[in-house]
Amino acid sequence: MYTSAYAYRQPMAAVGFALAPPSAFQSCWYYSLYTQIAQQQLYEYQAWFMSMDRDRSGTLTSLELQSLVIGGFPLGLETATKLIKVFDHNRNGQIDFYEYAALHQFVNNLYRCFVVNDRNLSGTIDAYEIHNSLTSAGFVLPFHTVNLFFLKISPLGTGIIFTQYLGLCASIALARSLFEWNDPMRTGVIHIGLGQLYDMFALV
């Protein structure tokens, strides 16, 4: 049986914030995730953001984000670090509220896709179900590509649990972010040198 995607301690009271994110954020692919969030949800997300921002810096690090509990499973440092990288546009190892809100919506959408595709309620999904769920989440990839990501996590081809699935999806989303950050004109083609390639691999 599935529980709510998120489990937090009681959120702190939200304070006022600008609903319109910076223009640089609006140029990112994940801005579309932000636009899916209703205003009341934004205030709820801000309260959760504040509850994790322990040093009151106005940003979250992977150490702070790892406390998030999803579907009964703690996010963990590895997945939190990867998710930070996906939404960290200036690559300083931290995300602001707007980036967090998009991240929150990303994980929420993936959780729904996971539940829908786990038709036998086993708590795991296989490569074909992952391919279907990614398509539903807006990531249209060939099955063989999805299967390569899947076999990195499950070499024997057995089903994976949600946190593993989330890590897989975060890897795919990070590839999308890295490509986009190197394609500022949105041509769909990037030209990179070996040094840039090394930098990209270092982030994956």
Q: For 95-109, what is each residue's pLDDT tens digit?
A: 999 999 999 999 989
Query: pLDDT for 32-89, tens place per residue?
Result: 999 999 989 998 899 889 999 999 999 999 999 998 877 777 788 999 999 999 999 8
Joined together, the tokens standing for residue 176 give 């999308």
In eight-state DSSP terms, residue 63 is H
pLDDT of residue 190: 84
* The two three-digit tokens of residue 102, written as one number: 């998009």
> Looking at residues 115-136, what average pLDDT do you find?
93
Rg (Cα) of the chain, in Å, rounded?
A: 17
Residue 1 falls inside a structural domain: no
Rounded Cα–Cα distance for residues 67 and 52 (Å): 8
> Is the model's pLDDT at 19 over the cut of 70?
no
Structural domain boundaries enclosing 66: 6-203
Question: Quick check: is 159 in a domain?
Answer: yes
Domains: count for the chain: 1
In degrees and rounded to multiples of 5, residue 8 shows phi and psi of -125, 165
For the segment 157-179, what is each residue's pLDDT rounded down to a tens digit?
A: 999 999 999 999 999 999 988 88
Q: How far apart are CA 173 and CA 85, in angstroms?
A: 9
Is residue 169 assigned to a domain?
yes
Q: Is residue 61 part of a domain?
A: yes
% residues pLDDT > 70 (the chain): 90
* Highest-confidence segment of 18-27, 57-66, 180-189: 57-66
Which of 32, 89, 29 minimizes the C-alpha distance to 59? 89
Domain CATH for 60: 1.10.238.10
The verdict on residue 116 lying in a domain is yes
Q: Is residue 11 domain-resident? A: yes
Nearest residue to 30 via CA among 107, 133, 145: 107
Q: Indicate the range of 26-35, 161-170, 193-202 predicted with least confidence.
A: 193-202
Instruction: Answer whether residue 193 is part of any domain.
Output: yes
Hunting for tokens 């999805």 — which residue is that?
A: 146
**Which is nearest to 79 in space by CA: 118, 46, 111?**
111
Give the pLDDT confidence score for residue 8 in this predicted structure: 39
Residues 45 and 14: their CA atoms lie apart, in Å, by: 9
pLDDT > 80? residue 122: yes
Is residue 188 a part of any domain in this protein? yes
Report pTM.
0.84
Q: Is the per-residue pLDDT at 7 higher than 50? A: no
Mean pLDDT of the chain: 86
State the amino acid at position 78 in one-letter form.
E
